[in-house]
Amino acid sequence: MSDPTRDEERELFRNILKARALDVELVRWQRQGIIPAFPPSLGQEAAQIGAAAGIDPTRDFAFPMYRELGVALAMGVDMLGYLGNHNGNWNGGSHDPVASRFTPIQSVVGSNSPHAAGWALGQQIDGLDGVAVAFIGEGGTSQGDTHEAMNFAGVWKLPVVFFVTNNQWAISVPVAQQVAGGSVAARAAGYGFEGIEVDGNDVLAVRQATLDAVAKARRGEGPTLIEAKTYRRGPHATSDDPGRYRTLEEERRDAGEDPVERYRRSVTERGIVDDAFIAEVDAEIAAWLEEIRTHLISLPERDGSELFDNVYAELTDDLREQRAAWEGARS
């Protein structure tokens, strides 16, 4: 166990509040047309901030999917660059992945698992002590890419942590239709490494589980699968309407306690923060959100022709036709 210091807890709390505030704001900005689309993390803040606290950004490397806003901000990623991604920037945003140890986000479900295993293999070959942390949804564990990465990592005892955020839903597909047997953590046994389940709404528990798994990988003892159990309290993305596949009653029944309010209560009751600290953080967040909003609205409109660039070195006949049709339509 390594209990966090008071200052570390204050930082965890600050980050949890920032993650929630930015996430809520981004949904509003999508509705206002400032960004085209966004996958909210509502309810997953404790899992994200706890996981980031277990990663050493001077030597480890995070391989996110698309729903890791909190991990990014807690790892110190340049959020203005990162959010370029959600603005449709073709190159995955303009944050520096190497300096921030956080790759561009991946929308192809499962594709970041082999990236993480490959990077971990590189660390092993070079005799370095970095650990790769792949962020996957429970749905993403059904993907072939994730199976191949886990199998490879198990066989070669690679320094990689598979951090699975089980938010109970893969768009409209509930976990019961995704994972026979009900446990994602149990899948690790088949790959020959440890799988643990952690309360994903408890930031301190997630932090500890991640610290332990990263330390173990660093000692050369191979991968761990962490299943952080939480609940996606909002839509899959701003284009989704959860009312089509789950009722409000089900949401209220299954969501559990809001992880942000749970930690607020905990740090307040234990005297880690007081009203003055919270007021200071709230003011800091308000200024920070304004800075991000101002930046986002100043970004140039994306040129639709980018849709056809950078996919193939040479356009296929199909795409050439589509491009001509698109250019015709705009002239």
Ligand X SMILES: Cc1ncc(C[n+]2csc(CCOP(=O)(O)OP(=O)(O)O)c2C)c(N)n1
Please select the residue that binds ligand X; options are 40, 84, 114, 139, rule is CB under 6 A: 139
- Measured in residues, the chain has a length of 331
Alpha helices by DSSP H, listed for the chain, are 6-31, 45-53, 69-74, 79-83, 97-100, 112-126, 144-155, 187-191, 203-218, 248-255, 259-269, 275-298, 317-330
Interacting stretch for ligand X, rule CB under 6 A, among 72-80, 101-109, 179-187, 248-256? 101-109
Interacting stretch for ligand X, rule CB under 6 A, among 87-95, 147-155, 166-174, 241-249? 166-174
Name the minimum Å distance from CB 66 to ligand X.
Answer: 7
Name the minimum Å distance from CB 243 to ligand X.
Answer: 17
Contact 163, 51 (CB under 8 A): yes
Measure Cα distances from 105 to 112, 134, 195, 309 in Å.
9, 11, 25, 19
Which residues, at least 6 apart from 161, have a Cβ–Cβ distance to it below 8 Å?
131, 132, 133, 134, 210, 213, 214, 217, 223, 224, 225, 226
Closer by beta carbon to ligand X, 123 or else 168? 168
Instruction: Report if residue 163 touches ligand X, rule: CB under 6 A.
Output: no
Name the minimum Å distance from CB 6 to ligand X.
Answer: 32
Please select the residue that binds ligand X; options are 43, 64, 93, 140, rule is CB under 6 A: 140
Closer by beta carbon to ligand X, 110 or else 223? 110
Q: H/E element holding 161? A: strand 160-166
Would you name the residues annotated as active-site residues? 232, 236, 245
Name the minimum Å distance from CB 256 to ligand X.
Answer: 16
Interacting stretch for ligand X, rule CB under 6 A, among 88-96, 103-111, 279-287, 291-299? 103-111
The binding site for ligand X (CB under 6 A) comprises 67, 107-110, 137-140, 167, 169-171, 232, 236
